[in-house]
C-alpha cells in the first residue's frame, strides 16, 4: 500500500526517491564525492577519462583498464556521415543546446546496441555518447560558421581533441588540462534536475539515448546548466559598470536573480566553484583579462546583499566561475552549457545504468507521482459532454 505524501510545489526538495552509489553531496559542509572520492582529489590528480570510468564502473581503473577505455573512446569519436549532412541543412541560428539534444536520437539510430538490454551494451552506448557529444558540439560550431567539421585526432586526449575540433588549432597542454579539470568537476551531481529527468525517462524502460536527450533538455534551462551562459551575459553587461554593488542591489530589488548564485542543496559555497575560482584567477593572470576581478566583485556584492536580506546561504555555485573560465578559454557563450553536457553525460549514463540494473532490493520503480486536480470539475462524474452544435459560439460561454 503506497502512503500518500503531499509535497506539492516543493520541487521535491528533501524527498528521497532512490538509492544511489554514484555520488554524494554534503550541502552544509560543501562536500561533493564521486564513488567515494572527493572531487578536489580527482580534479588535482585524475583525468576526465578516469572519472568517467569511475562513475560508470564504480572503481578507479588500473593502467590496462584505462588504456583500453581511452582507446575505445578515441575510436568512437567519429560522427556518422548522415549527421553532418543533416546539420548542414539546419538553421544556422539554431541554439547549440537544441542541436545537441536533437543529435542524440540521430546518434541512437545507428547504435548497434540500441535494443540490447544487457548491462555491457549500455556501458558501450555510454562510451559512444561520451565520445561523440563533444564532436557534435564542435561540428555545429564549425558548420554554423560556414566551416567544415574537422575529423577527430586520435593522438589527442579527450579535452584536447574537443578544443582541436572546435577551434581547428591544437591547444597547448595547459589549456587542455584546464578543460579536462572542468569536465571532471561537472561530471556528476546526484539527483539534480537533469539526472532525475534521465532516470525518470529510463524508468519506463526507454533506452539510454531517450534518457540522455531528456537530460540535455533539462540541463538547458537557466536555473540549471543554462546558468553559466547567463552568468557570462551578466558579466558582459557589467564590463563597463562602475557601481557593481549598486547594480546587484537594484537587480535584487526588482526581484531578479543573480545567476550563478544559490543552490538547492549547498548551503555554503559549492566546492566546484571554489576550484573554478582559483582556475579563473590563474587564467586571468595568464591571459591578462580581468574577468576574475569582475566576478569577484559580483560575488562580494551578492554575498553582502544576501546576508543583509537574511539569506547567507546563497553563495556561488558551479556556474558562477565556470563562465569566466570558459570565456577566457575562447568558448562562445552559447557553447558553455553544451560543455557542461559533454561532461555530465558521463554521470547521466552512470545513473541510467544504475536505474536499469540496480540490485533487486534497491531497484527503483517506474516514477509516477500524482498531482492534485484543481481544474474544472462539473459534478461527481465530471462534465457532461455537449456536441459542438449544442455549444455557444465560444466554449468560455459554458465554462466561464
Ligand atoms: N538570486 C536572487 N534570489 C535568489 C537566488 C539568486 N541567485 N537564489 C535563490 N534566491 C531566492 C529566491 O528568490 C527565493 O526567494 P523567496 O523565498 O523570497 O521567494 C529563495 O531564494 C529560494 O529560492 P528557490 O528557487 O525557491 O529555491 P532554491 O534555494 O532551491 O534555489 C536555485 C536554487 C534555483 C539554483 C536558485 O538559487 C537560483 O535560481 N539561482 C540562480 C540560477 C543558477 O545559478 N542556477 C544554477 C544552479 S547550479 C546547477 O544547476 C548546475
Clarify whether residues 64 and 213 are in a common domain. Answer: yes
Pick from 201, 204, 203, 226: nearest CA to 98: 226
Q: How far apart are CA 351 and CA 220, in angstroms?
A: 19
- 400: pLDDT strictly greater than 70: no
What is the 283 CA–ligand 1 centroid distance (Å)?
28
Q: What is the pLDDT of the chain when averaged over all its residues?
A: 94
Is 391 within a domain?
no
Question: Residue 225 CA: which ligand 1 atom is closest?
Answer: 51
Buried b (16+ CB within 10 A) or exposed e, 32-47: bbbbebebeebbeebb
Q: How far apart are CA 313 and CA 268, in angstroms?
A: 6
CA 315 to chain CA centroid, Å, is 19
Q: What is the pLDDT of residues 139-198, one digit of tens each?
A: 999 999 999 999 999 999 999 999 999 999 999 999 999 999 999 999 999 999 999 999
Pick from 293, 162, 291: nearest CA to 233: 291
- 202: pLDDT strictly greater than 60: yes
- 397: pLDDT strictly greater than 70: no
- 309: pLDDT strictly greater than 70: yes
Q: Whose CA is nearest to atom 25 of ligand 1?
A: 264
Clarify whether residues 142 and 237 are in a common domain. Answer: no
Whether 263 is a known active-site residue: answer yes
Work out how many domains the chain is built from and give that number.
2
Q: Whose CA is nearest to atom 12 of ligand 1?
A: 257
Q: How far apart are CA 24 and CA 30, in angstroms?
A: 11
Q: Whose CA is nearest to atom 49 of ligand 1?
A: 224
Residue at which a domain ends, from 289, 306, 327: 327
Q: What is the pLDDT of residue 396?
A: 57
Catalytic residue among 263, 270, 327, 351: 263
Task: Dihedral sign for Cα 186, 191, 193, 198, please.
Answer: positive
Q: What is the pLDDT of residue 364?
A: 78
Clarify whether residues 46 and 134 are in a common domain. Answer: yes
Is 375 within a domain?
no
By residue range, what is the domain housing residue 93?
Answer: 23-224+332-357
Give the CATH number for residue 129: 1.10.580.10
Give the CATH number for residue 285: 1.10.230.10
Is 306 within a domain?
yes
Task: Dihedral sign for Cα 310, 316, 318, 324, please.
Answer: positive
Tell whether pTM > 0.75.
yes
Of 79-93, 274-288, 309-323, which gets the smallest average pLDDT?
Answer: 274-288
Clarify whether residues 294 and 181 are in a common domain. Answer: no
Clarify whether residues 34 and 165 are in a common domain. Answer: yes
What is the 249 CA–ligand 1 centroid distance (Å)?
16
Clarify whether residues 189 and 316 are in a common domain. Answer: no
Catalytic residue among 186, 188, 319, 327: 319
Q: Grid coordinates 526538495 are at which residue?
A: 13
Say which residues have a Cβ less than 8 Å from residue 52's Cβ, sequence separation at least 6.
69, 73, 130, 187, 346
Q: What is the pLDDT of residue 394?
A: 64
Residue at which a domain ends, from 276, 309, 327: 327
Say which residues have a Cβ less than 8 Å from residue 311's Cβ, sequence separation at least 6.
none
Greatest distance between any 2 Cα atoms in the chain: 76
Clarify whether residues 149 and 59 are in a common domain. Answer: yes
Q: What is the pLDDT of residue 360?
A: 74
DSSP 8-state class, residue 261:
B
Q: Whose CA is nearest to atom 34 of ligand 1?
A: 223
Whether 319 is a known active-site residue: answer yes
Clarify whether residues 186 and 292 are in a common domain. Answer: no
Clarify whether residues 72 and 218 are in a common domain. Answer: yes
Say which residues have a Cβ less than 8 Å from residue 252's Cβ, sequence separation at least 6.
258, 305, 309
Clarify whether residues 231 and 102 are in a common domain. Answer: no
Is 299 within a domain?
yes
Is 59 within a domain?
yes
Query: What is the band of 399 on the pLDDT scale with cuts at 50, 70, 90?
Result: low
Instruction: Report the percentage of the chain scoring pLDDT > 90.
Output: 87
Is 45 within a domain?
yes
- 381: pLDDT strictly greater than 80: no
Question: Residue 320 CA: which ligand 1 atom is closest?
Answer: 44
Q: Cα dist. 139→105, 143, 150, 302, 373 in Å?
A: 17, 6, 7, 37, 45
240 versus 101: which is more confidently predicted?
101
Q: What is the pLDDT of residue 18?
A: 92
Pick from 298, 315, 297: nearest CA to 306: 315
Is 377 within a domain?
no
Query: Edge-to-edge strand order for the sheet containing 31-34?
Result: 23-26, 31-34, 37-38
Q: How far apart are CA 391 and CA 132, in angstroms?
A: 55
Best residue among 262, 304, 316 to mutate for probing ligand 1's pocket (most ligand atoms within 8 Å of CB) is 262
Q: Cα dist. 22→282, 353, 364, 381 in Å?
A: 31, 11, 15, 46
Clarify whether residues 209 and 343 are in a common domain. Answer: yes
Q: What angle do CA 322, 324, 329 make, to 5 degrees?
A: 90
- 370: pLDDT strictly greater than 60: yes
Clarify whether residues 88 and 218 are in a common domain. Answer: yes
Is 33 within a domain?
yes
Q: Whose CA is nearest to atom 39 of ligand 1?
A: 223
SS3 at position 318: helix
Amino acid at each position: 500500500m503506497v502512503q500518500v505524501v503531499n509535497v506539492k510545489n516543493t520541487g521535491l526538495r528533501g524527498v528521497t526517491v532512490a538509492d544511489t552509489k554514484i555520488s554524494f553531496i554534503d550541502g552544509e559542509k560543501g562536500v561533493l564525492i564521486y564513488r567515494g572520492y572527493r572531487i578536489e582529489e580527482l580534479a588535482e590528480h585524475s583525468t576526465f577519462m578516469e572519472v568517467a570510468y569511475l562513475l560508470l564502473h564504480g572503481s578507479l581503473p588500473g593502467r590496462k583498464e584505462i588504456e583500453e577505455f581511452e582507446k575505445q573512446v578515441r575510436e568512437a569519436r567519429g560522427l556518422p556521415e548522415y549527421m553532418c549532412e543533416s546539420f548542414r541543412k539546419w538553421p544556422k541560428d539554431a541554439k547549440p543546446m537544441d542541436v545537441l539534444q536533437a543529435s542524440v536520437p540521430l546518434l541512437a539510430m545507428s547504435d548497434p546496441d540500441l535494443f540490447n538490454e544487457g548491462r555491457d551494451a549500455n556501458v558501450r552506448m555510454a562510451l559512444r555518447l561520451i565520445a561523440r557529444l563533444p564532436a557534435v558540439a564542435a561540428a555545429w560550431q564549425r558548420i554554423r560558421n560556414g566551416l567544415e567539421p574537422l575529423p577527430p585526432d586520435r593522438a589527442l586526449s579527450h579535452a584536447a581533441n574537443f578544443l582541436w575540433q572546435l577551434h581547428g588549432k591544437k591547444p597547448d597542454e595547459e589549456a587542455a588540462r584546464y578543460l579536462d579539470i572542468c569536465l571532471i568537476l561537472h561530471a556528476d551531481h546526484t539527483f539534480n534536475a537533469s539526472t532525475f529527468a534521465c532516470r525518470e525517462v529510463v524508468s519506463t524502460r526507454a533506452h539510454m539515448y531517450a534518457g540522455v536527450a531528456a537530460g540535455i533538455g533539462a540541463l538547458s534551462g537557466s536555473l540549471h546548466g543554462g546558468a553559466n551562459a547567463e552568468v557570462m551575459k551578466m558579466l558582459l553587461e557589467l564590463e563597463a559598470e562602475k557601481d557593481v554593488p549598486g547594480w546587484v542591489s537594484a537587480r535584487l530589488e526588482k526581484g531578479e536573480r543573480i545567476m550563478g548564485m544559490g543552490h538547492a542543496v549547498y548551503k555554503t559555497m559549492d566546492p566546484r566553484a571554489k576550484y573554478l575560482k582559483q582556475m579563473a584567477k590563474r587564467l586571468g593572470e595568464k591571459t591578462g583579462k580581468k574577468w576574475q576581478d569582475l566576478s569577484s566583485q559580483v560575488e562580494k556584492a551578492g554575498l553582502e546583499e544576501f546576508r543583509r536580506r537574511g539569506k547567507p546561504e546563497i553563495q556561488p555555485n558551479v556556474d558562477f566561475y565556470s563562465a569566466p573560465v570558459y570565456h577566457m578559454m575562447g568558448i562562445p557563450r552559447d557553447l558553455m552549457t553544451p560543455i557542461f553536457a559533454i561532461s555530465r553525460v558521463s554521470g547521466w549514463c552512470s545513473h541510467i545504468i544504475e536505474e536499469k540494473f540496480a540490485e533487486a532490493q534497491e531497484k527503483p520503480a517506474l516514477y509516477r507521482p500524482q498531482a492534485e486536480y484543481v481544474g474544472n470539475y462539473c459534478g461527481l462524474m465530471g462534465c457532461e459532454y455537449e456536441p459542438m452544435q449544442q455549444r455557444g459560439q465560444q466554449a468560455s460561454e459554458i465554462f466561464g
